Structure 1
Amino acid sequence: MTMLGTPAATIDDPTVDTSAHVVDEMLAAVVPVLRNCTADGEAQRRLPDYAAAALVEAGAFQVQVPKSLGGLELNPLQATRLVEEISKVDPSAGFLVGNMNSQAFAMMALSADGVEEVFADSKAVICGGAFPPARAVEVPGGYLVSGRAPFASGAHIATWVTAYAMLFEGDQPKMTPHGPVMLLAAMAREDCELVDNWNVLGLRGTGSHDYAYHEVFVPHTRVAPLTLGEPNRYFSGPLYRSRLWSGHPAFAATALGVARASLDEATSLVRTKKGNFMMEVLGDSPSIQRQLGKAEARYRASRAYLYDTVDQLWQHQLTGEFVNTEHGISMQLAACYVIETAREISEIVHEIAGSTGFQESSPLEKYFRDAHTISQHAFASQTRYESAAKAMLGKQNDWLFFQL
């Protein structure tokens, strides 16, 4: 409602956040395509080309790229919603949208010249694996980078591959009082070798194969120390004050999408299915009703927790400040809790569904596998609760995100 005499704001008004409108249009473009790609993604162990093309064309992989570089620079609440909604339809696609945007986000460490080269193509897509670290040797004009990293999600889609490399001098890593010198390098995909080895339980459509690289020359402009100093001028907006915590809500949102899809399928199932040798439909059973109600409550609570945490960080970023350790603790705990809860929901639904739940003809079988696979992700596995607690207690932390 507007004040009398005050014109209503339009989506062209620079004072209005139009990201919800952008996400709605993007979803309208890609969801119909993704509804038909899941089986192909499972069989191919990668996102099918037609689905990847739809996401690229819609700008789904430019969500966290600065507007000054041709990206969308969406606020994190809407970016999280985008990942969740896509994950309801195809969890692998949602995972890729979240993960590959985090890779683009990491480009803020490079020089301005470096990111200009990476994003010269407005449809640039970035993948990469972090560990084990690669080996980097400085040479005139840049570095030679060698290594092999697993979990390069979206390997077939990428135009650029990132590597986290340890700087060597001779046969030994170069050391500082805080440990070895770590670098981030961005390499052209054609300079790297894709190793086809993504044979897994769930999230098969992510195509998270290994990438290998042997003495790939990377110029200084596309290599940067792995620190969280001041980002280059293109990444000066409030979105980039979350440091490297941008990936956590994306992975949690993928889990939320899986949980929602599982619950919707189970709710539909119990309305019509009768248990073996039983006369009543499952939905008339008090025990099924209790399980379904509890699962729904857990989903709603975890969703509210995630979005509230993302909003708290975002409101802090809007003040002009970077997120701090306390914010990191909040984000880590929320991500762990949401992903853990999504796995538990998949187990409740599996019990509700009975024999239907383990048949490949039912989407519940895939949701169960996807929920359990994402629960092992390093960003939010059970051991990350320990990392957050160490930060709470002020103890030395082995989790990189609390060290930067």
Structure 2
Amino acid sequence: MTETAHPRTATLRARAEIDLAALRANVRTLRARASGAALMAVVKSDAYGHGAVPCARAAVAAGATWLGTATPEEALALRAAGIGPPVRILCWLWTPGGPWREAVEADLDVSVSALWALAEVREAARAAGRPARVQLKADTGLGRNGCQPADWPELVGEALRAEAEGLIRITGLWSHFACADEPGHPSIAAQLDCFRTVVADAEAAGVRPEVRHIANSPATLTLPESHFDLVRTGIAVYGVSPSPELGTPADFGLRPVMTLSAALALVKHLPGGHGVSYGHHFVTAGETTVGLVPVGYADGIPRHASGTGPVLVGGKWRTVAGRIAMDQFVVDLGGDLPEAGAEAVLFGPGDRGEPTAEDWAQAAGTIAYEIVTRIGKRVPRVYVNEEPNGREG
């Protein structure tokens, strides 16, 4: 669980400020994009690094009726935090021997892609003395989790038998896109066609699901024909574009939720020809000043952004000088002399001219999802713009 600190009183080495008003606004924007469908806010991986419980509460306050997690442990933690029905929670990444009974007793929706999982959830339902809420997942082309179309009739048939026994309720039919973030990719139409087919086949066999869903964040934003009964929005909830090719957050009416900053630990002069950080991959061209930013790859700052990562200090963009180390890195200040303790903003919404998570993704050769998700537990999350009752924190 991430730490929290009060923004007005805590003096912090570094902080990830989480704007819950921005998150609520993003959820409302996404709901408007898919006005005919319910909205699931995906809060897996500690809400993509933003803090699962506060973000889940904020999303529900803004109208999300479903929450999504990868692991059952993540889902059970939400229930333990008091997020109960009528909010539905779907968890989809199961391995044999998982906490099926606990999931059934917590009234979670569990995803089933194979007969072994169906067998385990049936036994859990017997032990719990109540039916399990089961969603059947089809592999429509991603080639990852999900049941292949050739095996779908058998899985559906066994699930219907379990439902007739009173052991499960088939609450959903779902799948996941492979290339929804690549506009015009031929797999998108092919997966939609396959999904419509497997849904029709299941319903013809007698399945009456509460929800049918395939749309992730990019599909929610760009493919209205994919919305069905429910859309699953993950990275877009946090105001990050799922793909630069699709548009910026502002293009979709979204606002980044996380601002990552640190206090300069040291500012000093260096002569020309002086090596900086491990390996001396950066050598000063002439006399300059440098600032020490007290975060590193142990805090989730990507080492691949050594020499390229952007930071705003004193209203100017600076660049990481040399290698990013475990706990710290250096920026070249070009002769400027901010005081120790001055703010260094690594990324945020961009309102003040600061870099964004996408800028760091470009610098590190990765995606913005990874930038926000990897920010570690040593960086406290500071929640701002909570609801007046304070229940989000």
TM category (shorter chain) comes to under 0.3
* TM-score, normalised relative to structure 2: 0.25
Q: Which structure is higher in strand share? A: 2
Q: Which structure is higher in helix share? A: 1
Of structures 1 and 2, the one scoring higher in RCO (CA 8 A, sep 6+) is 2
